[in-house]
Structure 1
Amino acid sequence: MRTSLLFRSVCLSVALLATSSLSSCLKVIKPGKQFTAYRPATMPDYAQPDNWAALPTRRDSADVVPLGSGLRDNQKNAVADVFYVHPTTFLRSESWNADLSDERLNRFTDNSTIRKQATVYNAAARIYAPRYRQATLYSFFDEKTTNGKDALELAYSDVKAAFQYYLAHYNQGRPIIIAGHSQGTFHATRLLHEFFDNDAKLRKQLVVAYLIGFKVKTDEYQAMRPCEDSTQTGCYVGWNSVETGNEYPPFAGGLATNPLTWTLDTTVVPARLNRGGVPLAFNRIDTAVVGAQVHRGLLWINVPKPIGYPRFLLPGQPQLRHSFHIADYALFYLNLRRNAVTRVQAYTAQPQRP
C-alpha cells in the first residue's frame, strides 16, 4: 500500500514499544483476528451530540486557542462551516475499528487532534467534527488481506453518514470548508469525489478543501483543481512535510501546496513568511519556525529549531527518510488559520455565490 512508509513512521513516533524493532511494533498493533471475526461497534447516530467531537453549539476542544496567543474563537460569528475529519488516534489491536463508546479514546482524540488541528479553523468557520469508527493504525500496513481495506470502508461509511446528517440538519446552505489530516484526509478526499465533484450545486458551496497529510493527486478530480493562490475558492490544497534533501516514495508525485505562499511553484520560501507554528504542547507561537519548498510532490522543510515539532525517522532504502507528518498542521498553524479566513472572505465577496 502506498502509505506503508508513512504509517511506519507513525508507529515509531508514538513509541508503542520505545526500545522495540519496527516488526515488534507492528505485531503489537495488529488485530489478532480477521475483520469478519469481529462484530463492529454500533453505527453512530449523528442526531446524538455525543457522536460529534466538535459542534459549534456547545463547548468542546475545538473552541480553544494556543496558550498566550491572543487568538480568539470566532465560531459564533462565522459565516462558513468546516467539516473536519480527524486522523488516526486508534492505535490498539483489539479490533479493526474503534468503538465510539470508548471514552479514553475519545478524550485522547479531543486532547490531541481536535485541540491541536481542528482549532486552526475556529477563526473562519463553525467546526463540525464527527467521531467515527476509525480504522486502526495497522489497516494501512495490511497489504496481504482485505482486512485493512474493509476497516477503512467501514470508517468511511461513518464519515459519509455524518456528512449527510450535517447537510440535512446543520448546513442550511452555508459555505463549506472540508478539512482533514492523514486518515481523515483519506476519507475527506473520497467525500469530495462522492458529494462535490459531480454535483455542481453543492460544489458552489465549497470554499476550499484542506487535504493535508496524505497523498492526493494533482488531477484527483474532474471538476475541481488544486488551488493556485491564497484567495482561490472551490479548489483544494495539501502537503506532506519532509526534511529538506530527502525523497519520500509514498507521496512522490502528489499534490504539494506551499502554505507560506499558497502556490504550487518550487521556489524556496524563507522562514520569515511563516507567521507562526504551534508546538504539540499547544503552549506558544513560534514565529518563522520553518521555511518551505515544494519538491516533487513533497513539502521540503528545514528542521525546526524550537522543540515541540517531532521529527520521525522512516526506515527504508537506500537511505533514511525524515517525515514531519505529525507536525503538518503545527508547523504552519497561523498561516493555515489566516488562509481559512482569507478564503472565506474571498468566497463571500463573490456575488454569484449563494
Structure 2
Amino acid sequence: MIRYSLLLILFVIFQFTSCKTYGPSATYSSPEVLEIDYSNLNHWAAHPDKRDNADKIPGSDRTASSNLKADVFFIHPTIYRSKGKNLPWNPSISNKELNNQVDASTILFQASAFNAAGRVFAPRYRQAHLVSYSTSDKESAKKAFALAYNDVKNAFEHYLKYYNNGRPVIIAGHSQGTTHAGPLIKEFFDNTSLQQQLVAAYLIGMPVTKDYFKTIFPCESATELGCFISWRTFKRNYIPDDRPVDDSILVTNPLNWTTDTTYVAKNQNLGAVLRDFNRILPRRVDAQVHEGILWATKPKFPWSFLYRSKNYHIADINFYYMNIKENAERRVKVYLDAKN
C-alpha cells in the first residue's frame, strides 16, 4: 500500500506537469484478439464475484456490502501513458503491470466511491493511449478509441445479459471513461426501455454538452433521477485556453448538486481522499460552477506545495470523494423508495 500511495502522488504531481507524453509512433494496426471474453473474471478490474479494490472503504477495515439492490458500471480513465518506441495504440488486456496500476489507482481511489450505492462492475478494456487525445494522427487515434469503446460495449452487454436482471444501474466514468460512457448511454439508454433503470450517470472529467442526449437531461438537484452529472476541475480564477469552456457545457457542483453558479464553501465538503486512501480529509476543497468548468481553491494536503498545475483533472473525483459516495447512495435510495 505504501508503494502504491507513493506511486499515486507522483502520478498526481507529474500527470499534467510533464513536458510531453510519448506514445505510439507507427500508424494503427488491428490487434490479434478482436473480442474480449468477459465471462473471464480476470477481464474485470472490479466485479461482485471477486475481491478487488472497488470494495474497499477509506479509513476502515470493512469492505462494501455485496447485498445491494443496485449496480454501478464504472469505466476507468486513461492509465496507459507509457513512454517508449513501437508501443501499440491499445495495450493487451492481459498487460499485468498496467492492470496492477489500474487497480491501485483508479479502481481504489475512484470506483470505490460508488460502492455504497451498488455492486461495482468495472471492465478491463484496451484503453487508447493518452497520446490519442493530442496526436496529429487522427485516424489512428480514432481507431484506438473505437477498439476501446468496443471492449466497453461488449463488457456492458455481458453485464446486461448475465447480471442486471432488471436492477437499477448507475453509469460512472472519468476522463477516457467518460469518453466511452457518453456513447454507451446514447446507445443503450437514451430513448430506450432501459432508460427507466438508469438511476443517474456521473460523466466526470470531460466536457459534455447539456444537450448531448435526446431524452436524458442534466441533474438539477441531489435527488433527481434518470439524469446526468458532469464537471471538470480547475484552480479558481483560471480559465483554460486549450479546451472548450462555455455555458453549453454541463457543470454540476458536487457540493450542492446543482448547476447554478452559487459558491459552495469547503465546509460543505464531506471529505477528499487523496494520497492516503485510509485518510479522509474533510472540509478541504470548495466548488463553484464557472463558464463550463468547476473552480476550486487549491487545497492544502501533504506535498500539495509540489503541485503547481492549475488543472485539477486528476482529482475530479478525489476532491469530492465522500460527497459523491453519499450522493450516489442517496439517489439509489430515492429510486428504490419510488419503486416500492
**What TM-score do you get using the length of structure 2 for normalisation?**
0.90
Contact kept, 8 Å, 2:250 with 2:292, in 1: the verdict is: yes
Contact kept, 8 Å, 2:269 with 2:283, in 1: the verdict is: yes
Contact kept, 8 Å, 1:56 with 1:75, in 2: the verdict is: no
Structural mapping, 1:257-272, within 5 Å: 257-272=252-267
Structural mapping, 1:100-179, within 5 Å: 100-179=93-172
Aligned to 2:232: 240
Q: Structure 1 172/132 Cα, relative in aligned 2: closer, same or farther at 3 Å?
A: same
Shift of the alpha carbon at 1:248? 2.1
Shift of the alpha carbon at 1:71? 8.1
Shift of the alpha carbon at 1:305? 1.1
Aligned-residue CA RMSD (Å): 2.0
Aligned to 1:215: 207
CA distance in structure 2 between the partners assigned to 1:98 and 1:242 by the alignment? 30
Aligned to 2:268: 273
Contact kept, 8 Å, 1:259 with 1:336, in 2: the verdict is: yes
In structure 2, give the amino acid aligned to 1:146: E
Q: Which moved more, 1:230-239 or 1:89-98?
A: 89-98
Structural mapping, 1:28-47, within 5 Å: 29-36=22-29, 39-47=31-39
Q: Does 1:337 align with 2:325?
A: yes
Query: What is the CA deviation profile of residues 272-306 of structure 1, one whole-angstrom value per residue up to 9, with x for unaligned ones?
Result: 10011011331301110111100011110000012
Aligned to 1:325: 313
Aligned to 1:4: none
In structure 2, give the amino acid aligned to 1:132: Y
Q: How much identity, in percent, do the aligned residues show?
A: 42
Match of 1:193 among 183, 186, 192: 186
Query: What is the CA deviation profile of residues 80-131 of structure 1, one whole-angstrom value per residue up to 9, with x for unaligned ones?
Result: 0000000001112511001111111111100000011000011110000000
Q: Structure 1 235/50 Cα, relative in aligned 2: closer, same or farther at 3 Å?
A: same
Shift of the alpha carbon at 1:332? 0.3
Contact kept, 8 Å, 1:195 with 1:202, in 2: the verdict is: yes
Q: Does 1:98 align with 2:91?
A: yes
In structure 2, give the amino acid aligned to 1:286: L
Q: Which runs of 5+ in 2 are unaligned?
A: 1-10
Shift of the alpha carbon at 1:262? 0.2
CA distance in structure 1 between the partners assigned to 2:32 and 2:311 by the alignment? 33
In structure 1, give the amino acid aligned to 2:238: N
CA distance in structure 2 between the partners assigned to 1:42 and 1:11 by the alignment? 33
Query: What is the CA deviation profile of residues 286-334 of structure 1, one whole-angstrom value per residue up to 9, with x for unaligned ones?
Result: 1101111000111100000123668453xxxxxxxx1101111110000
Shift of the alpha carbon at 1:182? 0.3
Contact kept, 8 Å, 2:271 with 2:322, in 1: the verdict is: yes
Shift of the alpha carbon at 1:14? 3.2
Shift of the alpha carbon at 1:43? 2.6
Contact kept, 8 Å, 2:91 with 2:127, in 1: the verdict is: yes
**What TM-score do you get using the length of structure 1 for normalisation?**
0.87
CA distance in structure 2 between the partners assigned to 1:95 and 1:30 by the alignment? 8
Q: Secondary structure at the match of 2:177?
A: helix
Q: Which runs of 5+ in 1 are unaligned?
A: 1-9, 314-321
Q: Structure 1 74/63 Cα, relative in aligned 2: closer, same or farther at 3 Å?
A: closer
Q: Secondary structure at the match of 1:203?
A: helix
Contact kept, 8 Å, 2:36 with 2:151, in 1: the verdict is: yes
Q: Secondary structure at the match of 1:350?
A: helix
Aligned to 1:230: 222
Q: Structure 1 32/327 Cα, relative in aligned 2: closer, same or farther at 3 Å?
A: same
Q: Structure 1 12/223 Cα, relative in aligned 2: closer, same or farther at 3 Å?
A: same
Shift of the alpha carbon at 1:70? 4.1
Runs of 4 or more above 2 Å deviation: 10-15, 38-43, 69-75, 307-313
Shift of the alpha carbon at 1:74? 3.4
Aligned to 2:7: none
Query: What is the CA deviation profile of residues 131-153 of structure 1, one whole-angstrom value per residue up to 9, with x for unaligned ones?
Result: 00110111111234311111001
Structural mapping, 1:45-60, within 5 Å: 45-60=37-52
Structural mapping, 1:264-303, within 5 Å: 264-303=259-298
Q: Secondary structure at the match of 1:344?
A: helix
Q: Structure 1 42/222 Cα, relative in aligned 2: closer, same or farther at 3 Å?
A: closer
In structure 1, give the amino acid aligned to 2:119: R
Q: Structure 1 266/311 Cα, relative in aligned 2: closer, same or farther at 3 Å?
A: farther
Q: Structure 1 311/41 Cα, relative in aligned 2: closer, same or farther at 3 Å?
A: farther
Aligned to 2:14: 13
CA distance in structure 2 between the partners assigned to 1:42 and 1:143 by the alignment? 25
> Aligned pair count?
323
Aligned to 1:86: 76
Q: Secondary structure at the match of 2:234?
A: strand
In structure 1, give the amino acid aligned to 2:302: I
CA distance in structure 1 between the partners assigned to 2:15 and 2:107 by the alignment? 18
Contact kept, 8 Å, 1:116 with 1:280, in 2: the verdict is: no
